[in-house]
Homo-oligomer: A and B are copies of this chain.
Amino acid sequence: MASKQSGKKSEGSDKVGTICRALRRAIIEQALEPGAKLPEDALGERFGVSRTIARHALGQLAAEGLVELRRNRIAVVATPSWQEARDAFDIRIELERLVVRQLAGRLSKSQIATLKAHVDAEDAARNGPDAVSIRLATEFHILLAQMTNSPILVRYVSEVAYRCCLTLSMFSRPHSSECAINEHRQLIAALAAGDEAKVMGLMHTHLDSVANRALVTPVPPRGRDLLDILAPYAADEDDEKNAAKPAKAVRLRAAAAE
């Protein structure tokens, strides 16, 4: 143990944040499914930290609603009910309407370019794995929130967007997000035009249709091994890089149905 590979003493570590980011990503890419167990030991080992840190990270994720903590029991990825999923989308709609209301007609050229580039990336990833499409679509919304320059709004939108992502794992099937890409483009156009009412309506429609497409019927769990699942996430790549081909080397490992 204690394999401190960094060598440096004062690394700007934030180990807890690293683990949180990794797990969040694993969850929104559906590598970790709702109900998946998250033992402190395994997490600590995977990320090279002690249980104390893993535990703290789980606490944070629980505060965000991505993880369920049961006393004296192994933590699991949250398993929202259908109703909770619907509630999350309702909240998300209001929050994101607020975002675009603040943004309409106030975006700089470079911001609009950034948004367009992101949607192009979504487009490019359309034929790749679903996991990436889903993540990119979510990140588009977070990107919008960030442009409001309101840290609070960013936090709430991110959080609720992640939760909505999670519900996709539970209730959605194959996933068909092509249309969503077009809606994103329309959104950008309306934002650039500064049509506040229209952009709010578009966002409402967009999210509502995503919710309606998403919340259909439960999906059976796959059941894989935690350590394998987490392998590609342990590196803490904050940007893309391996993002375009994130999950593939993962063996299916016939974990007994839980």
Contact = CB atoms under 8 A, between A and B. Distances in A.
A223 interface: no
A61 to B, nearest CB: 9
The majority secondary structure among interface residues of chain A is: helix
A150 to B, nearest CB: 4
Contact of A65 (B60, B95, B155): B155
A91 interface: yes
B14 A87 contact: no
Interface string A140-168: 00000000001111011000100100000
A87 B150 contact: yes
B59 A153 contact: no
A19 B63 CA distance: 15
A63 B65 contact: no
A56 interface: yes
Interface string A61-86: 00111000001000000000001100
A103 to B, nearest CB: 13
A156 B160 CA distance: 10
Interface string A48-63: 0000100110011001
Given A63-B63, A65-B155, A98 B94 contact: yes
A90 B98 contact: yes
19 contacts: A12-B71, A14-B71, A52-B52, A55-B56, A59-B59, A60-B63, A65-B152, A65-B155, A84-B150, A88-B152, A90-B98, A91-B95, A91-B153, A91-B156, A94-B94, A94-B98, A152-B160, A156-B156, A156-B160
A97 interface: yes
Contact of A94 (B52, B84, B95, B155): B95
A91 B98 contact: yes
Contacts of A95: 91, 94
